[in-house]
Amino acid sequence: MGFRKSFSILAISTALALTLSACTSDNKAPSASSASPSSPASSAPSASASDSGDANSERLEKIGLDSNVKFKETRKITVEIYDRGNDGGSKPEDNFYTQYIKDGMLRDHNVEVTFVPVPRWTEGEALNNLLAGNQAPDVSITYSYPTIQTYANMGGILDLAPLVEENKDILPDMWEYLTEANIYWDRDPSTGTLWALESRLNTLNRINTFVREDWLKKLNIEAPTTLQEFESMLVAFKDNASTLLGSDADKMIPFSTSFDVGWRADHLTTSYVPDNMTDRDVFVYGFDDRHLLFPNYKEGIRTLNKWYNQGLVWKDFPLYPAGDKTEDNLMKAGYVGAFIHNWDYPYRDGDEGIHANLQRLVGPDAAYIAIEPFANDAGVYKKFLSGPVDRKIFFPATNKEPVASLLYINWISKLENRVFLQFGEEGVTHEKLPDGSLKTIAATGEKIMNSPANIDYTITSNGIDLGNPDLTVKSMANAYAGVDARFIEVANQITTHDGRVGKNANVGEIKAEEGQGQALKDKRDAFLDKAVVASVDQFDSVYDSGMKDYLTTGGQAIIDERAAAWEKYFGTETMLK
């Protein structure tokens, strides 16, 4: 395939899993029932131990819990759940898995749970509306920390710092799984306030570039390893549309993207970013998670604009909003030659997914495979990866049951609960193989999962984790029903190859970001779409005008404040240790 540094899935994933596993072994929260070390069973407790036990019992009694950490009187909480609008999916707030959670929380803690669905693809707007109307779920989640900060400044978010400390003894699973690193990731270094907990990203896999492997073979083209080879491949797809699609040649789409150009062209655009970019500049200019403000980003969009004007890009990509399935259906039908998307995107969703439909409609050899064609100025296939954090979990000020809500987070972090939610019932949604690993069985009916490995329910965890690194890696390779493991191996290897992992440059609140998250996102998406579809001679004008608007309506103020904050905490240093 022409890949450089071709490592196996087991080598890379095992190392990653071991690293993450090692993180959880430190700073474990003490068990509520831990015994004194080296004390004989018949020994009487010391006065200090007895006093501590009495104090703990009194504290539990005060907040209404018995010695088993179960409320004496039933408490009620609401929990946010994403609604992905899946065709053939179940109701996200009422299904087999929500019932498992409800039954477990009622049994273990006497807490009634009600799920509140929020549209996944417009979650920022929806959550803003809920918070503004004092109707946000008690346990809320978002990918947008500025949204949380905005409402925290208005008194609309609970400070979790005292809550997680005061209740540490009854939250052992949360502390062990998230560790202090994720729990305190967002703690303000000046005020000590903590508005959100960061869930754990078990793998740093992000996105990949995919091409039709069968088309490469049919045209006798090697998998491209350079930008020029990739472009030549797209031209070949267009020029040979009749060979590849027959009577459907007019439906040929050499390269597809979506309205979210920033996400969907990321490997292309970041290949233009200089390899020697400093940690300081990554922090100052990296608040837009599409890397819009990174140096030389514009040239990546210029390339996409050139391809669009050459008829190599899906002409209708800006017309379809988030969650629309039109593009997926074009891929399933076999009309799309290449695209950039989530690292395993074509292999998801079992029988309903792109891979299964492509093979069913086109033929058994039809498949997308991940490739690595976009090297930067140093010849490195740089990927800007996240730190080991994912969604942000927070409690709105309207939450009247913070302890019950923390117990929910602890319950959802417990290993056996996470594993059940990620794999479901043995013999129904997974099978256990002789080596102890688990293999997913495509689910139907009430036990279908609306999100990969039920990540919408395992809110403290994104990515398969069986508590055993070896079994986790093997199960990861087994997790795609009906997909040849080699496709997963290649995708897994490439997505983090030459990756640059995000660091936590925590400087506290950036006030200029308040209220800007959704507004700047909308501006970015709109002007990038316009820049891609502009005529070549109008590209600079359209792009520069859009960027100017982005900067003057909030972007530049954020840059300036971030630069000042970096200097305050890190001085003239340009790299984090």
Tally the domains of the chain.
2
Pair 215, 271 in one domain = yes
Helix (H) and strand (E) counts in the chain: 23, 14
Do both 428 and 488 map to the same domain?
no
**Are 463 and 201 within 8 A, CB to CB?**
yes
Residue 470 domain-assigned (yes or no): no
**Do both 238 and 372 map to the same domain?**
yes
The predicted model gives 181-200 an average pLDDT of 96
Of 449, 515, 412, the residue nearest 153 (C-alpha): 515
- Distance (Å, rounded) from C-alpha 304 to C-alpha 54? 67
Residues 108, 132, single domain; the answer is: yes
What does the pLDDT read at residue 61? 93
Q: What is the pLDDT of residue 11?
A: 35
Exposed, middle or buried by CB within 10 Å (0-12, 13-18, 19+), for 537?
exposed
Q: Name the token pair of 451.
A: 């999100």
What CATH number is given to the structural domain containing 371? Answer: 3.40.190.10
Which of 464, 495, 529 is at the close of a domain?
464
**pLDDT band with cut points at 50, 70 and 90 for residue 50:** low
Among residues 395, 510, 323, 389, the alpha carbon closest in space to that of 143 is found at: 389
Averaged confidence pLDDT in the chain: 90
Indicate whether 357 and 276 sit together in one domain: yes
Assigned domain for 53 exists: no
**Res 28 pLDDT > 50:** no
Q: Are residues 134 and 211 both part of a single domain?
A: no
Q: Is 243 left (phi over 0), alpha (psi -120 to 50) or beta?
A: alpha
239 contacts 249 by C-beta, under 8 angstroms: no
**Two structure tokens written together for 309:** 């004007």
Does the pLDDT at position 32 exceed 50? Answer: no
Q: Judge whether 211 lies within some domain.
A: yes
Q: Which of 435, 464, 493 is the last residue of a domain?
A: 464
Side-chain half-sphere CA neighbours of 79 within 13 A: 26
End-to-end Cα spacing for the chain: 36
Under 8 Å CB-to-CB from 554, ≥6 apart: which residues?
Answer: 512, 516, 519, 520
Whether residues 115 and 262 share a domain: the answer is no
The pLDDT value given to residue 13: 38
Domain assignment present for residue 451? The answer is: yes
Q: Is 12 within the bounds of a domain? A: no
Which tokens is 10 given? 């087991």
> Does residue 471 lie within any of the structural domains?
no
Residues 259, 111 within the same domain: no
Residue 139 to residue 163: CA distance in whole angstroms = 14
Instruction: For 361-376, give the DSSP string.
Output: HT-TT--EEEE-----
Residues 369-406: tens digit of each pLDDT = 999 999 999 999 999 998 999 999 999 999 999 999 99
Judge whether 498 lies within some domain: yes
84 shares a domain with 98: yes
Instruction: Based on the fold, state whether residues 233 and 334 are members of the same structural domain.
Output: yes
Q: What percent of the chain has pLDDT over 90?
A: 82
Residue at which a domain ends, from 464, 491, 526? 464
Angle at 426 between CA 422 and CA 428, to 5 degrees: 90
| Residue 496 buriedness (CB in 10 A; 0-12 / 13-18 / 19+) | buried
Q: What is the DSSP letter of 346?
A: G
Per-residue pLDDT of 241-262, as tens digits, reads 999 999 999 999 999 999 999 9
Query: Are 231 and 371 found together in one domain?
Result: yes
Q: Are residues 191 and 215 in the same domain?
A: no
Residue 534 has pLDDT above 50, yes or no: yes
For residue 37, pLDDT over 50 is answered with no
Q: How far apart are CA 466 and CA 416, in angstroms?
A: 9
Which residue range(s) make up the domain with 275?
207-385+480-570
Q: How many alpha carbons fall within 13 Å on the CB side of residue 569?
A: 19
pLDDT for the residue numbered 473? 81
Strand partners, 384: 500
Closest CA to 549 of 523, 519, 512, 518: 523
Cβ neighbors of 146 (< 8 A, separation 6 or more) are 513, 514, 515, 516, 517
Domain assignment present for 420: yes
C-alpha to C-alpha distance for 461 and 453, rounded to whole angstroms: 10
pLDDT of 18 > 80? The answer is no
